[in-house]
Amino acid sequence: MKNEIKKFFKGDIEDDLETLKKYSHDASIFEVQPKLVIFPKDAEDVKNLVKWVNQKKSDFKNSPKSDFYNLSITARSAGTDMSGGPLNESIIMDFTKHMNKLIEFNHPALQAPLLDKEGVGGGAFITVQPGMFYRDFEKIVSEKGLMMPSYPASKGICAMGGIVANNSGGEKTLKYGKTEDYIQSMKVVFTDGNEYEIKPLSKTELEIKIKQNNFEGNIYKKIWNLIENNREKINKAKPNVSKNSAGYYIWNVWDQQIFNLNKLLVGSQGTLGIVTEVTFKLVPIPKESKLAIIYLDGVKKISDLTAELLKFSPESLEVYDDKTLQLAIKFFPSFLKNRGFWGGFRFICGFWPDLFMLIRNGFPKLVVLAEFASDDKEEIYKKIEDLSKMLKTKKLSYRVATSSADAEKYWKIRRESFNLLRNHVKGKRTMPFIDDVIVRPEYLSEFLPKLEEILSKYPELEHTIAGHAGDGNFHIIPLVKTDNLQLSQTVIKVADQVYNLVLKYKGSITAEHNDGIIRTPYLEKMFGVEICRLFTEVKNIFDPQNIFNPGKKTAGDFASIRKYIIKPN
């Protein structure tokens, strides 16, 4: 296989054991060893490989014992996914080595009013390859006073391709929306091995596209027919929460004016085609911001407090629990790395106000972060003043960060909560499998205690909770002993109970982290048989030979969870 690919592939091809082991993992609970890891130089490499794989699958479709029978390609960027999305037993295609470049940066409207999540009000765009790390992307755009606001908490280590593949969201999603709201256009290689530019189309443009009567035109025709023929079912299936990464977003493609295939490709985890370029819409960074830190002594107060805080229109409304705070205290030295003596000293000194709050009020059950941002300084100060009055009336313990550096330490704890667990707790392993549930915020006071009631039945699942309170989206990260022999049974049993609870409150089993290996088997529980049949139709329209990232979004099963879950030490 390797020698055949070398004939047409300019990039690197690796099959040594060390590389295969490295690419057997992401940030999930799975281990899946590929046969080959390749690093494309450019879009031509991607196109040629897709054509080759497609041809081999066709040639050997009646030879199940052949190495080519189950040939497939899984696109991968930084590998920070928690669902097993970039794992595969066949070929892994990593974009971070070569296809990590800036293509174009157009920023003519830096003085424009703050854009809303639809991009109205200005015209700043950036085109990048999928292997660019978000930290490099952020440096480029922030120097011009701009941002792509749907970055996840893992922004220091994730890449742009993964952000698109998972339809990422994060701390600013409450105000700005998810990645799907910031994709202007994409270049995608479909299963015929050709690269296409995908843009929003008017009805007239769609009709012209369909009349092409070629591979691309037939995709548009078949997706249009699928949506039109099942419109009522599709609209009814759309989750009634502020964000969702489960399934294919067939309800977002056609809004009766614009037909946008990007709305289907985003969040599809590379199962419909391989993205080679993305053009993102950007928004200006607000000039002023203030962060309020609120301590709660119980989870039942979070729903009412969230409702009150949302009245002030915060840019972010985040939360983490007492266990996360305890971990931050326990592993405090990890926050001081690369800060130098004085930087570390200032970081430590910044926690004195919190120490006094802890002494005075005791250890909180939840820490809530409410950030307000605007170009209008007076507006921010007025909101903080009114917020303070409300919090005092409710007799809640709180403080307002005095500077951006003061605020940053709280964001550091929030963003690093998963890595604290992953890198520092010895003898136990992070097991993200119920890591991204979402219900409407008004249900939190009922939902969270019931969630804890389920988890309390499994003392072996020590866990932390953090998330986006403003959206009702919580990340539950269990820790388990590395010698747990019943792990796969526990994972399936607990996930089933938790997702039943989520669906009782009409939520989604994943708001940001997507389906991958871990949640694809539960899509039928969430959407029902008919909608999952439509998901399978979508997959077959784009990828009839199943060469793109198989087993994610469709055709996933519990046997795969049991097969690939990391084995105990």
Phi/psi of residue 375, nearest 5 degrees? -80, -15
pLDDT of 423 reads 66
d(CA 417, CA 422): 9
> Is 113 a residue whose pLDDT tops 80?
no
Dihedral angle, C-alpha 206, 125, 282, 132, nearest 10 °:
100
pLDDT of 175 reads 96
pLDDT of 116 reads 46
> Is 481 a residue whose pLDDT tops 90?
no
Mean pLDDT in residue range 538-559: 97
Measuring CA to CA, which residue among 321, 282, 275 is closest to residue 444? 321
Provide the 8-state DSSP code for 113.
P
Mean pLDDT in residue range 261-276: 98
> Is 131 a residue whose pLDDT tops 80?
yes
Q: How confident is the model at residue 420 (pLDDT cuts 50, 70, 90)?
A: low
Render pLDDT for 287-309 as a digit per residue (tens, 0 to 9).
999 999 999 988 888 999 999 99
Domains in the chain, start-ordered, CATH in brackets?
2-94 (3.30.43.10), 107-284 (3.30.465.10), 288-421 (3.30.70.2190), 427-564 (3.30.70.2740)
Dihedral angle, C-alpha 563, 529, 503, 456, nearest 10 °:
-30
Q: Which amino acid is at 6?
A: K
Render pLDDT for 499-528 as a digit per residue (tens, 0 to 9).
999 999 999 999 999 999 999 999 999 999
DSSP 411-446: HHHHHTHHHHHHHH-TTEEE--SEEEEE--GGGHHH
| Tokens representing residue 255 in the block | 């809004």
pLDDT of 110 reads 47
Q: Where are the alpha helices (H) located in 60-198, listed in sequence order?
A: 134-142, 160-165, 173-176
Give CA separation, 72 vs 15, 18, 54, 225, in Å: 16, 21, 9, 28
Provide the 8-state DSSP code for 246.
S
Using an 8 Å Cβ cutoff, are 85 and 436 in contact?
no
